[in-house]
Structure 1
């Protein structure tokens, strides 16, 4: 069964990282999974494509000329006729809209879509009616969390039977904690908290900075790492200085080794205002890192409050600060939550489960559409 995965990308964020795990897993199960990336002319997503190819996934690209590009639909239709996949699997809104139009122009294949987030912009005009229209044309769909399924049903008219397939990850290869810390210029015994995220309003990094400033008063040697980039970086750097933690906060910028940085942390802070899944939280849990997160979106599906991490309400800086103070001040609590989180990640969020459940969605979509797997 040949399946083309279509996504618009400018870098490697959560949805892209998910595909880098999923597609090799599908290929290992005999599915001819391929990647097609919609790119902006000045942002060709080279790293994403190269990493996919390094993992054995055939990968190509098409340039998208704007939010709506009719010529792209025509080019995609020609590609679909040439490659003749059984399914087109779309990810994120640009791929959803252009992919479905192209499949109709090509008179096949059937389309499956994954909903990755609960971004409020999906409620706006004209996005909302377009997405509602898309659901009428697809053969199957996936939500990456129960929170995203609820949002998609309420905001987009997704079917009540939309299956949830949580992201899965392979067990991480162990790295020497002290070697990772040394590479980052961290003292051996330092208390280190971190945020690994795009620097956008969604991720709540300003709340994380404020929580660290309050909680770290009792821990003058504590350090905050912030790995990621985005439109809020300059404002966050100013904010850190105003909070008096400028010298204790290290802005690392975008890193292609972000998962490696997790080994250096005592605590991961995930202060998101909304969150479709939260893959970095799962990656931290898999490494035994204690997690402090908000109850935004899917995060409570990953983190059991008080058992595998601590949770606070989105935007509640006081609660975030209290949770962080507990974690920074109690090595035993960090160890207990980290160990339980590692076990939860291993038991519930494995890569093989995600691959098997995705294949089941494909088989159901083809069966319902009258095709064959």
Structure 2
């Protein structure tokens, strides 16, 4: 396979998507309209979906909400015409001797969406945890457990199942007594590190390997922030791969911290990676991820490592929260018992979000990412 061109910190495709999205978004958002493009058919390597006419445009308040969907060539969906959200089933993932059994949330496309073996996305949450803060200690009643999850993860599950993917979301924190996450804990003092979360991802892959109706050759690993670091750790080819564990066919990392991988001098990829990050991210700086891409391509000239940097976007740009400053993020490990914190900017960016989701749509549909 020919070597892909090395991507600059801001790739041409990212810059083009941003420019196109800004021109269209300015006109559409001024009228207060929200549009969304995409297909209900599964995105598979064997049958790629048609190219998007334009990036899906999202309002700052309703990024992935089912009621804002516009199907290709159709009118905007309304509450009366939009399908109900796909429910989630809670399942148990059994790990090895050092890994506790984890609760995971399993979403399956509605009956009739596809008759083929299902492609799957394993989605790894960020340091804030998977569960909604008000529901993180609840047991969850009824048959639909998705109400327990944070809005971002519910909406991504809906977006992915609409494209024919099953979605598995492991909860790495609740079983370890940290349902509210680890964002405010010094990184070096966290009990849940990259090795731990890699073990959780492998447990999820093993569970998928035993499920009927799942295509084990079409598994996507996707993560956000701390979960994106776990994605990078999982697809690190310098680490052994457990026998009997399905391989990851491709991986997606939203704004990971790339510092540890950069420092690892033998870091290599075992699967194609799409890494998306904001150019103004002051929590997990994009420059380190650009360094990682350069290092990987120097070691693996044929590696498929796509880096998209969205100018002006901050950490969490694909979310819907207002841009705000967090002052509770540790600056590092405790030093002499004194905890130091730093301020970081977090929040959604409607234009970068639209461009990133269009890129994700294309990446999942591509037969050769």
Q: Tell whether the structures are fold-level matches, with TM greater than 0.5.
A: no
TM-score (norm 1): 0.39
Which structure has the higher relative contact order (CA within 8 Å, separation 6+)? 2
TM-score (norm 2): 0.39
